[in-house]
Structure 1
Amino acid sequence: MPSDPGPTRSLVTGSSIGLLEVVEAAGAVVMIRFDASTTGSPQHEHVGSPLLTEAHRQLAEYFAGRRRVFDLPLRPAGTDFQRRVWDVLATIPWGTTTTYGWIADRLGLPPGASRAVGAANGANPIPVVLPCHRVVGADGTLTGYAGGLERKAELLRLEGVATEADQGALF
């Protein structure tokens, strides 16, 4: 089990997919939460820091279509297997998608491991920056997303990726 990262600070930032809370601990982004609240909690101090200010700037650039790669120190908490999956997520280029099976294959996992990859993908604590929204089903359909399929579709559209809903609207 990972050690306690110590005190955390967070900053709530707006985006086209709603309020996001960026959480920092020990000099790294450790979490991004959807549907953030602007009220404080005993565990988190809602204040800015140089890292949170930079994360806010980079997220604003991403949502404005001016950033394709994030450059932030990240420290997602998870199992070794989850972190291996998240490391692969970080390599998926902006504007592209891949499948759970491709990630399993890239990790050298046996056939059928795509479900385990999907579970790790769903546990990603730093969505958007670690682009789990870029992973789709083997048939190209949008499948589960912790933030909801509407957010996943919005993030993909932001990156210029047509979703099946967009395809249906063409005909």
Structure 2
Amino acid sequence: MDSDSQLVTRTQQGDQQAFAELLRRHRTPVFRLALSILGREFIPEAEDVTQEVFLKVHHSIQSFRNESEFSSWLYRVTFNHTVNLKERVRFRTPHTSEAALYRTQTQGPGPEQQLQSRQRDQALAECIQSLPELYQSALRLYYWLGSSVGEIAVLLAVPENTVKSYLHRARQLLHGMLKERGHSCD
């Protein structure tokens, strides 16, 4: 099995099968990274980002000089592209899924408890949005997408201990922000 570096070299020489193999290897991590930045409400957009990133990489792979790992370069392109996309207005308000609409009609906790829960969830979402992008990404990858610390380290191109620090600092900041807003941090 060829290494990424060998596949990049073959791709630069015009071998489209080599690029297809790079895409196969890295499609899922690129998607997960994009989704971790956009939020789980934006799955279709994360899929679009994945396609756009691979198009961008395909067009610029000739300029890749193998001075770093291909995956590090690819994940940095993904991170930058997704953060830029997120800044657009339509990504500031998530889509409401059908499941969310059905949940509001189901039997469960009383109206007061539902309101408190929604307020806390809204406060948490707002607090997460105010964190630095790297903290947001680490939280979403870890808690929403179930990525391991090692996987997150690869995607964000940082050491595992740095990921642990990101998660720890993010939890501390969230705890403080939620406490300021009058919500318990169970």
TM-score per shorter chain, which class?
under 0.3
Instruction: Report which of the two structures shows the higher radius of gyration computed on alpha carbons.
Output: 2
Higher relative helix content: 2
Query: Which structure's relative contact order is higher, taking Cα pairs within 8 Å and 6+ residues apart?
Result: 2
